[in-house]
Amino acid sequence: MVGQGVAQRQMMEDLETVLYTEEQILTRIRELGEQLTVEYRGKVPLLVGVLKGAVMFLSDLVKRMSIPLEIDFIAISSYGLSTQSSGVVRILKDLDRDVDGRHVLIVEDIVDSGLTLAYLRDVLARRHAASVRIAALFDKPGRRQVPIRPDYCGFTVPNAFIVGYGLDYAERYRNLPCAGILKEDVYRSSESAHT
Ligand code: IMP
Ligand code: MG
């Protein structure tokens, strides 16, 4: 228990700013869940979580949706420079469910360039989903390279690198219950450590 507290404090120290507390995030997710409950009433939507960042958002969101629904996961990776999405996307783990005729809601942690989601939306449409919509916890519209807009969005964030509440830097910080901007010297120092 003591160890956990120390680890958490260290992660918090790597944040430049806390953008949203756990409580603020959960309040917003409750609102989105209520909205989605109304919009998908009578439809049994298939929620597709994009691994791994969307896991926490998805799990909190579905608990706030009081209609029958199904959950599936997809893992994708984009080729290119490590910090920049190239738009060439590869499916690492495909869906278990057939989406033909289903009302699909893609659940994503953050929309940045939009390239990943544009690809995923096309894949699902080609598989004859009845509808494809996007729910993103965070939206960074200032970085967009393709015209894509989440249909449901938790928060609009500035052009900065966000971690916590599922979002990672080099697989770390996903377990921070809040979301914040990562200090630049954290990635500068680890970049030099890896080269
Ligand atoms: P896009 O194809 O550029 O929109 O890439 C979106 C993906 O990049 C997200 O699903 C995240 O995994 C990752 N990403 C983009 N911005 C951030 C960020 O600020 N923090 C953490 N991950 C991010
Ligand atoms: Mg992601």
CB of residue 148 inside a 6 A radius of ligand 1 = no
Q: Is 72 a residue of the active site?
A: no
Q: Enumerate residues with CB within 5 Å of ligand 2 (an ion).
A: 53
CB of residue 112 inside a 6 A radius of ligand 1 = yes
pLDDT digits (tens, 9 = 90+) for 113-143: 999 999 999 999 999 999 999 999 999 999 9
Structure tokens at 112: 């940045």
Query: Ligand nearest 117 Cα, by number?
Result: 1
Instruction: Tell me which residue has its CA closest to atom 22 in ligand 1.
Output: 167
179, 160 contact by CB (below 8 A): no
Q: How far is residue 104's CA from residue 142's CA, in Å, rounded to a whole number?
A: 26
The pLDDT profile of the chain, 195 residues, written as one tens digit per residue, is 556 688 888 899 999 999 999 999 999 999 999 999 999 999 999 999 999 999 999 999 999 999 999 999 999 987 655 555 566 788 999 999 999 999 999 999 999 999 999 999 999 999 999 999 999 999 999 999 999 999 999 999 999 999 999 999 999 999 999 999 999 999 887 665 554
Residue that is written with structure tokens 């599936």 in the block: 72
* Residue-level pLDDT at 77: 85
CB of residue 161 inside a 6 A radius of ligand 1 = yes
Catalytic annotation, pick one of 94, 112, 122, 151:
112
Spacing of C-alpha 168 from chain mean position: 10
* Residue-level pLDDT at 8: 87
SS3 of residue 6 by DSSP? helix
Query: Ligand nearest 167 Cα, by number?
Result: 1
pTM: 0.92
Ligand 1 atom at shortest distance from the alpha carbon of 115: 2
CB of residue 115 inside a 6 A radius of ligand 1 = yes
